[in-house]
Amino acid sequence: MDTLAPEKKAGTNGKNEDFLPIKGWDHIEFYVGNAKQSSIYYQYAMGFKLTGYCGLETGNREKASYLLEQGKIKFVLTTPYHPDNFISEHLKQHGDGVRDIALEVEDAESAFNETVKRGAVPVLEPTKIEDENGFIIRSAIKTYGDTIHSFIQRNNYKGLFLPGFVDASAKAVKGITDTGLRSVDHMVGNVELGKMNEWVRFYGETMGFSQLLSFDDKDISTEYTALMSKVMQNGTGKIKFPINEPAAGKKKSQIDEYLEFYHGAGCQHIAMNTTNIVETVSELKRRGIEFLRVPTTYYNELEARVGKIDEPIEELAKHGILVDRDDDGYLLQLFSKPIEDRPTVFFEIIQRKGAKSFGKGNFRALFEAIEREQELRGTL
């Protein structure tokens, strides 16, 4: 059932120390088949601004990377130049997807040492990377699947983004306005059956996170499918990682579908905040982003379920926006269809009006909408 875990300080070892102080989300790196084309998609369809580039022209002979920004959100789209490297293997296995959920920290060496000594698998030892604008310290550890967490220490760097990146505003699509996306709210990982608690322990014991919420298969189920989920957060509550695993059901769940087509565990979706979800969703739809739809009957009892809200219900119904309430307020949310040909990664648009939860009251309607899409794909 939906339970709020007892509040703990960061570090589930019972100590009050926060051995991994995180300043916030640094950036999210996607490995994609064609970063140049993908950058145009994110600019036009989602309102991001192309601000940085790293590639052949800057001396990188292995990969091209495009930095896109909107509000506080930073996406890096990376594509390989050659077939015989890890990025190419990642693409072959997973298709386009999230490789790096990078976190900004005060001390990247300490973040690495503290997590590795608690069991994290190292990917990159603390490394100083510099150019004429100063230097950053970068380190990295593994999380679920082929996903990693980089720790970025940038207090001694005054450049655009990272050493090696140059201003790419001249390459940007002209005349594109943003769509109102402001920050990353949370990022969700899908893991294999029986692995959720293993990764909950990882975030608790290795990274000092605490459990915020827990949902079992009675909370997240329909007539046909079910899943389980636990939400982990860091000591400040800025970084939240829900972790899903499939549960037994009559048919194949959305988590099973993801694991089949991603060929392993990985980041399922990125939730992004907006201050006006109606305007944001309306603009995203106009630009071609497709969203899930719930039956119009969802709105018949909406006010009775969530109480008075500021937004006209007919406007929410027009766009298929979902609403839920908790003790702190309410939230509005909507989920895109997968943004790749593989039914894997998608986006959530969320507007919080006090609520700190994740929309438990919408789970059944949402997952029935996903099942309708699965049925069309023949993957239910």
- Rounded distance, CA 69 to CA 183, Å? 10
- Rounded distance, CA 366 to CA 371, Å? 9
Contact status, residue 101 vs residue 123, Cβ threshold 8 Å: no
Q: How many CB atoms lie within 10 A of CB 240?
A: 20
Contact status, residue 30 vs residue 79, Cβ threshold 8 Å: no
pLDDT band at 224 (very low <50, low <70, confident <90, very high): low
* Nearest CA among 51, 44, 46, 96 for reference residue 69: 51
- Which residues fall within 8 angstroms of residue 311, CB to CB, at 6 or more apart? 278, 321, 332
Residues 77 and 215 grouped into a single domain: no
Residues 27 and 96 grouped into a single domain: yes
pLDDT band at 14 (very low <50, low <70, confident <90, very high): very low
Q: Is residue 230 part of a domain?
A: yes
pLDDT band at 186 (very low <50, low <70, confident <90, very high): very high
Q: Is residue 226 part of a domain?
A: yes
The β-bridge partners of 70 are 73
Q: Is residue 185 part of a domain?
A: yes
pLDDT at 212: 87
* Nearest CA among 80, 46, 52, 48 for reference residue 66: 52
Q: Is residue 9 part of a domain?
A: no
Alpha helices in 311-362 (DSSP H): 313-319
Residues 167 and 206 grouped into a single domain: no
Q: Is residue 3 part of a domain?
A: no
Residues 270 and 147 grouped into a single domain: no
Indicate which CATH number applies to the domain containing 135: 3.10.180.10
The β-bridge partners of 329 are 326
Residues 226 and 154 grouped into a single domain: no
> b/e map of 326-354 (b: 16 or more CB within 10 Å)?
beeebbbbbbbebbbebbbbbbbbbbbbe
pLDDT at 13: 43
Residues 289 and 324 grouped into a single domain: yes
pLDDT at 248: 79
Q: How many CB atoms lie within 10 A of CB 3?
A: 13
Q: Is residue 13 part of a domain?
A: no
- Rounded distance, CA 104 to CA 344, Å? 26
Residues 294 and 225 grouped into a single domain: yes
Which of 138, 171, 204 corresponds to the end of one domain? 171
Which of 145, 171, 197 corresponds to the end of one domain? 171
Contact status, residue 143 vs residue 187, Cβ threshold 8 Å: no
371 three-class SS: helix
How large a percentage of the chain has pLDDT more than 70? Answer: 92
Residues 327 and 191 grouped into a single domain: yes
Q: Is residue 176 part of a domain?
A: no
The mean per-residue pLDDT over the stretch 28-56 comes to: 98
Residue 203 backbone phi and psi in degrees, to 5? -65, -30
Residues 211 and 344 grouped into a single domain: yes
Which of 171, 199, 221 corresponds to the end of one domain? 171
Residues 121 and 207 grouped into a single domain: no
Locate 67 and state its tokens. Answer: 């930095």
First CA to last CA distance, the chain:
25
DSSP structural state of residue 206 = I
Q: 222 is in which domain, residue-wise? A: 181-377
Element (H, E) at 325: strand 322-326
Residues 191 and 134 grouped into a single domain: no
pLDDT at 16: 54
Residues 356 and 253 grouped into a single domain: yes
Residue-averaged pLDDT of the chain: 91
Q: Is residue 12 part of a domain?
A: no
The mean per-residue pLDDT over the stretch 223-246 comes to: 89
Contact status, residue 222 vs residue 351, Cβ threshold 8 Å: no
Pairing of strands 329-335, 3-4: unpaired
* Nearest CA among 107, 63, 61, 55 for reference residue 86: 63
Residue 134 reports pLDDT greater than 60: yes
pLDDT at 7: 40
pLDDT band at 247 (very low <50, low <70, confident <90, very high): confident
59 three-class SS: coil
pLDDT band at 33 (very low <50, low <70, confident <90, very high): very high
pLDDT at 226: 75
The β-bridge partners of 69 are 49, 74
- Which residues fall within 8 angstroms of residue 176, CB to CB, at 6 or more apart? 43, 44, 47, 49
Element (H, E) at 69: strand 63-70
State pLDDT tens for residues 59-113: 999 999 999 999 999 999 999 999 999 999 999 999 999 999 999 999 999 999 9
Residue 19 backbone phi and psi in degrees, to 5? -75, -10
Tally of domains within the chain: 2
